[in-house]
Amino acid sequence: MDDMLDRLCTIVDRHAAGRYRPGALPRVALYKDGAAPQPVAGVYPPMMALIVSGAKEIAIGDRRIRYDPASYFIATVELPASGCVKLDLPDQRYLAVSLDLDSERLASVLTDVETELPPAEPAFAVNPVTADLLDAWLRLLRLLDTPHDIAALAPLYEREILYRLVQGPQGSIVRQIARADSRLSQVRRAITMIRDRFDQPIRSETLAEAAGMSPASFHRHFRTATAMSPLQYQKSLRLQEARRLIVAGRDVAAAGYAVGYESASQFSREYARLFGLAPSRDVKAQKPHVSGDGIRAA
């Protein structure tokens, strides 16, 4: 597999223009970065991320995980997270690719795959990379050098990647993305409500009703999926949006108020608890990593 990783490194290094680059391949993004001085926060969409050079450590709720070229990361719901690039050599670059997981395309892959509803489990994981998965990624990324072939061949290679994921260790949670009756889909309905109304108070009973569960069952399944409570999830979204606003020039107190905080001291206290520094000090270090479009990470 080392040879395939070397060839993937060459392609990503050649085509990645910066830290995050959505390219000509639908739902595929390329990443090129150096080591970050501190963790960078963002919201991970449902995705598969493959590192071909370097490593990354991420925190999701109360979970801490690491992945590198020997493994891949998969998320099946939107997850507030923070991540830090790790490089072993001074001249090493962080190179990675990601694929957004599309429910309709997954549903087409599941036509001939068993879709029994699995028990509740986390909506993210790190799994070992296989030669078959790397080979499918290599064929997909090679299309960047022959863009006239993308329309005809990219859907075939993407389908193979999805098939490998469905057949992999976390195949059961991947399959849930395409099922409207799955527990994951129920949790995602509540996540959509939180994301749409993150700056407003939301009662737990309202979220449970949106998910179609009892309050006790909802809290259990939500924490299992995301490694955090609904309140912690909402708080992470609020604080990440506040950080983006402050970097864009908003006054610290005004940013806290804009995302739903009525107390400036509570905002600063919770901001420092999540990001490790008070807002004004933290944002100085974040300016190179945060844009008006938010943060996207693999």
**pLDDT given at position 109:** 85
**pLDDT given at position 110:** 79
**pLDDT given at position 89:** 81
**pLDDT given at position 292:** 39
**Helical (H) or strand (E) element with 199:** none
* 294 three-state secondary structure: strand
For residue 158, the one-letter residue type is E
**pLDDT given at position 206:** 97
**pLDDT given at position 164:** 93
pTM tops 0.95: no
CA–CA gap between residue 117 and residue 121 (Å, rounded): 11
Beta strand 124-128 with 71-75: parallel, antiparallel or unpaired?
Answer: antiparallel
Taking alpha carbons only, the member of 46, 146, 138, 37 closest to residue 86 is: 37
Mean pLDDT by 10 residues, the chain (298 residues): 93 83 86 76 92 94 93 94 86 92 86 57 90 96 96 96 89 78 87 95 95 94 94 95 90 94 93 87 65 48
Domains annotated for the chain, with CATH where assigned, are: 2-177 (2.60.120), 183-228 (1.10.10), 239-286 (1.10.10)
Biggest CA pair distance of the chain: 56
**Cα angle for residues 85, 289, 227 (degrees, 5° grid):** 60
**pLDDT given at position 33:** 84
